[in-house]
């Protein structure tokens, strides 16, 4: 029992140190999931938690404030795009919607849909944030 507790503590410290230097949200998600899983379910919990955390961690990070400000300052297009589908964070925009890249940060794009400005991930067209 003492060895198991020490192993979990060592794993937690090692992963916590790794998280401090992690540059990727996938790595951070995997490490956080592994630590939580280890505490709750031991070694098997660490493996399951690491996989689940990596999946959650692959989501694109929220856009920086400069991107949000840029999108808010863009003039609304004369012809607004209206779609029947609800615009939902995490879901891709319909193909009929025109997406424009943010020039200073091509990792993000934006569109105006159903009279709302939305920030999207350009390659997948997934909605990252809906601006009010």
Distance CA(113)–CA(129), nearest Å, equals 12
The burial of 80, by beta-carbon neighbours within 10 Å (0-12 exposed, 13-18 middle, 19 or more buried), is given as: exposed
Within a 10 A sphere around the Cβ of 128, how many other Cβ atoms? 20
Laid out side by side, the sheet with 116-121 consists of: 100-101, 109-113, 116-121, 126-131
Q: Quote the distance between the C-alpha of residue 76 and its chain's center.
A: 26
Decide: 3 and 37 in contact? Cβ < 8 Å: no
Structure tokens of 96?
Answer: 């009929």
The string of pLDDT tens digits covering residues 6-44 is 344 444 444 444 343 333 444 445 555 555 555 666 776
Q: What percent of the chain has pLDDT over 70?
A: 55
Domains of the chain, CATH where assigned: 83-131 (3.10.450.160)
The string of pLDDT tens digits covering residues 40-69 is 667 766 665 655 555 554 556 889 999 999
The pTM of the full predicted model, rounded to 2 decimals, is: 0.55
């Amino acid at each position: 029992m003492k060895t198991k507790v020490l192993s979990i503590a060592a794993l937690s410290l090692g992963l916590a140190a790794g998280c401090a230097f992690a540059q990727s949200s996938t790595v951070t998600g995997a490490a956080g999931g592994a630590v939580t899983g280890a505490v709750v379910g031991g070694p098997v919990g660490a493996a399951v938690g690491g996989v689940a955390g990596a999946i959650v961690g692959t989501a694109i990070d929220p856009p920086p404030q400069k991107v949000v400000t840029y999108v808010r300052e863009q003039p609304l297009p004369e012809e607004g795009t209206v779609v029947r589908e609800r615009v939902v964070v995490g879901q891709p925009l319909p193909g009929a919607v025109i997406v424009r890249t943010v020039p200073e940060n091509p990792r993000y794009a934006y569109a105006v849909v159903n009279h709302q400005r939305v920030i999207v991930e350009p390659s997948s067209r997934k909605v990252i944030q809906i601006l009010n």
